[in-house]
Amino acid sequence: MEYPERIQRCIDYIESHLTEPLSIEEIARQAFLSAAHLYRIFPYLTGLTVGRYIRKRRLTASSYALCHTRRRIIDIAFDFLFQSQESYIRAFKSAFGITPGEYRKTKMALALFHPLRLYPFSLKGGVMMKPSMITKRFLLAGYEAEIDLRFDFTETMNQLRGKLKLNLNRIGGKFSPIRVIGIWQPFDPGGGEENMAKRIYFTGIEIANAGDIPEDFIVKDLPESLFACFREKQRGEISGGMYTQWLPASGFILNEDLMCDLEIFDGFERCGGLDECDIFLPVRPHDEV
């Protein structure tokens, strides 16, 4: 089963459970994926995090209840798992530019978000992707922070990189030239809906050994894995196509033992902008399943 079909199963499951509590584990089970795996794949195929997709669908579904039933707004808010009438009104107005009460009175046209249909999925042309295949272990030292994808996280990431650069001379056994490595990780694969938009972002450098690393640094030892290495000339040019174009036809699948992609920049000056970087995607041959 290819990834578009798997994610469509998740979408269909979400659609039939919009008025029930949803967990990332149960959604992932519909596609025979781990929660961490779903966290990675879902945004590339839908353009939204799992939590954001659920919220947009619930808001649209609630608009039908406002228009076609006489249920109280507070009851509709609770039907679609909002914690209060106030939080529902704020979310509705943010999404549609009008409050639920105003919409019920005016029945004005809204920019509704309908269920996505990914399957059958047609792979289209684009940037030619010919990754190099590298087997490598990564031993890293750096810092990490919680990121909420619902808000602008640029400042948080810049602060992390600034802190790393400021303390670079305290790291022993570092390689030259310095390459800055970023890793996106699930915040809590076992968490509920409130954690679906959260991630942990790590930024660090590669080191030879962990013996000389001060205690305030985080050391990550990523075991030896096969990586498909993509050179991205402009940010966003390759990352989505890795999953939707290259992976289905490659003969490889994601390595679920290493649930993170690596972004590797040529020095601090290259971080955070639109400059090119290497993306390391951990994979394994399909016939090893």
Cis peptide before 131 (omega within 30 of 0): no
**Residue 287's pLDDT band (cuts 50, 70, 90):** confident
Angle, nearest 10°, between helix axes 85-96 and 50-68?
A: 100
- On whether the CB atoms of residues 88 and 103 are closer than 8 A, the answer is no
Q: Is the pLDDT of residue 289 over 60?
A: no
- Count Cα neighbours of 59 within 13 Å in the Cβ-side half-sphere: 25
- On whether the CB atoms of residues 76 and 91 are closer than 8 A, the answer is no
CATH code of the domain occupying 132-288:
3.20.80.10
pLDDT digits (tens, 9 = 90+) for 251-284: 888 888 887 889 998 888 766 555 678 899 999 9
Token digits of residue 213: 């690393």
E strands along the chain, which residues? Answer: 132-148, 180-186, 198-206, 218-232, 252-254, 262-265, 277-285
β partners of residue 148: 198
CA 19 to chain centroid, in Å, comes to 24
Cα dihedral across residues 182, 186, 188, 192: positive or negative:
positive
pLDDT digits (tens, 9 = 90+) for 12-40: 999 999 999 999 899 999 999 888 888 88
Q: What secondary structure letter does DSSP report for 238?
A: S
Cis peptide before 120 (omega within 30 of 0): yes
| Residue pointed to by tokens 């303390």 | 167
* Measured CA distances, 47 to 9, 51, 114, 116, 239 (Å): 16, 12, 14, 11, 12
Which range, of 32-36, 91-95, 111-115, averages the lowest pLDDT? 32-36
CATH architecture of the domain with range 3-106: Orthogonal Bundle (1.10)
What residue spans define the domains of the chain?
3-106, 132-288
